[in-house]
Amino acid sequence: MTTQLDTPADLIGLAGQQLGTTEWMEITQPQVDRFAEATGDQQWIHTDPQRAAAGPFHGTIAHGYLTLSLAPVVISDVLEIRELTAALNYGLNKVRFPAPVPVGSKIRAVVTLNAAQQKTSGVEAVFGLTYEIDGGTRPACVADVVVLYP
């Protein structure tokens, strides 16, 4: 289900509400490898399936920052603002990675609008993202993502 709004200012009245849950997304080894190449984080636990099979997670895992970097995708999956000029990444208030994401697993995110307020530069929204792992007992990532809508 997608929450549809006319303008970013409409977010202010939704503060404290859950906006929706994304569809499941599979995390693949090629995706992890591309992220490793882009960031320079080539640690074997992410990029070497043979070595990782004997490691602590019995296979490769996604970078925590790869999971976090899906924030724009998951927010746009549950929120549509019809009259939108831009959505700017303004920062993070808190991020934790309670559980690793095994390559080949599926994740989804529950998106809550923790806060929204009008600022002189636009509407500042704080989204609470909880990334779940299919079949997992702990979230992969819990983050407060701040977006500015000028």
Return mean pLDDT, the chain. Answer: 97
Tens digits of residue pLDDT in 55-96: 999 999 999 999 999 999 999 999 999 999 999 999 999 999
Tens digits of residue pLDDT in 8-52: 999 999 999 999 999 999 999 999 999 999 999 999 999 999 999
The strand pair at 122-133 and 79-81 is best described as unpaired
- pTM of structure: 0.95
74: amino acid identity, one letter = V
H or E element in which residue 78 lies: helix 71-78
